Structure 1
Amino acid sequence: MEMENEWDIILRLLVAFILGCIIGLDREKHGRSAGIRTYAAVCLGAALFTAIGEHMGDTAAASRIIANVLVGIGFLGAGIIYKNDQTNTSQGLTTAATLWCTAGIGVAVGLNMFLIAVAAALGIYFLLSLHHQKWYVKWKKKFKHENDSHTADD
């Protein structure tokens, strides 16, 4: 591998690391178990495997690597989700889903799709920060109240 190619991959890894840190920032601020380190590692790892696969020059091999990265992260996410029998609710769905999306962002970075990766990272960060926004909390309560009253009428 030429040194220029290695520097290109290192740049991709740095971008993936930064985007993963940004996504994990909201989780870290609010005391979630998956935070900056987890999201940065997922994004960085996905970018690394994708860049290596792309560098191999074999499109089929690169496609298999990307598919297996996303399946592997899906497996990780499945381990995060659990059902709370006391409250009859599921926990960890947002973490699992956003980790999976963060792997997709890493894949995009690994394929030099920087604008797509940045746009997706901003979208994920926005989604993660929604439940801390007063307007969203108010809307969600109103929406839930309207649905509860419709259920009572039935």
Structure 2
Amino acid sequence: MNSILNNLSHIYGDELIKIFVSVLCGSILGFEREIRGKSAGFRTLALICFGSTIFTICSYLLGVDANRDRVAANVITGVGFLGAGVIFRNNIAVSGITTAASIWISAAIGMLVGIGAYELAGVSMILSLFILYAMDYIQFWIDFRFQHRDYKIILDLSAEQLEITAHLQDLKLRCINIKVLRSGNQLIWQAQVSGRGDRLETFNNWLLNQRAISSFEW
């Protein structure tokens, strides 16, 4: 066994290092996805990064100088299929795009390791972790301050009329694309409302307490 390992390290020393480094990089990226409970986690990203490195090594070990990029191009295509498998659409919401991008960047880092660009792979991995972890808080802050909701409010015409637009202005909420429709004894008010998340929740509570409102949704 020792002689086999010695022969492998002598013949494929650099390649073995690349393989172990790629598994390490993919595992680190996968750990961040795993602790967030995403579909592509620890083992998945480790295998993707590892596999990308193997295919990249194969591309130059084959010795075809004129078409060295052919294997790499097909790696990108294959990773695209994997990424598409984790994207789901639920009504109007789309989930899994960030996880798909993690698969994509994991394969890219694996290819960098495969060509021996360790420093560039390390910088790319650090930036990827920064985007996935640190910038999550920035995105939360942006989403909180700049939320957009499409409201559909049904009012009873026999009850006291409400100045919905005026109340939105008092809450410093922006309202666009207003549509007002009438159906029998009901008035349907539709619009896109944007602003801070806490002010939108205040607006929701105000709607709940108005007897003139039969129902609303957003």
TM-score normalised per structure 1: 0.85
How much identity, in percent, do the aligned residues show?
A: 32
Find the counterpart in structure 1 of residue 68 from structure 2: 62
Match of 2:89 among 74, 83, 93: 83
1:152 maps to 2:170 = no
| One-letter amino acid of the structure 2 residue matched with residue 137 of structure 1 | F
Flag structure 2 segments of 5+ consecutive residues without an equivalent. 1-6, 150-171, 178-218
- 1:6: how far off? 1.1
Q: 1:3 & 1:56 partners in 2: Cα distance?
A: 19
Root mean square deviation of aligned Cα:
2.4
Higher RCO (CA 8 Å, separation ≥ 6 residues): 1
Alignment deviations for residues 91-148 of structure 1 (CA, whole Å, 9 cap, x no partner): 1111111101110110110000111111111111111113653x55234422x24x77
| Residues 129-140 of structure 1 mapped to structure 2, 5 A cutoff | 129-130=133-134, 133=137, 136-140=139-143
Contact 1:17 1:43 in 2 (8 A): yes
Contact 2:40 2:99 in 1 (8 A): yes
- Structure with bigger helix share is 1
Contact 1:25 1:35 in 2 (8 A): yes
- Structure with bigger strand share is 2
Contact 1:130 1:136 in 2 (8 A): no
Find the counterpart in structure 2 of residue 120 from structure 1: 124
Relative to structure 1, is the Cα distance of residues 72 and 115 closer, same or farther in structure 2, using a 3 angstrom cutoff? same
Match of 2:99 among 95, 100, 107: 95
Contact 2:40 2:86 in 1 (8 A): no
Relative to structure 1, is the Cα distance of residues 5 and 109 closer, same or farther in structure 2, using a 3 angstrom cutoff? farther
Find the counterpart in structure 2 of residue 52 from structure 1: 58
Relative to structure 1, is the Cα distance of residues 84 and 59 closer, same or farther in structure 2, using a 3 angstrom cutoff? farther
- 1:8: how far off? 1.0
Larger radius of gyration: 2
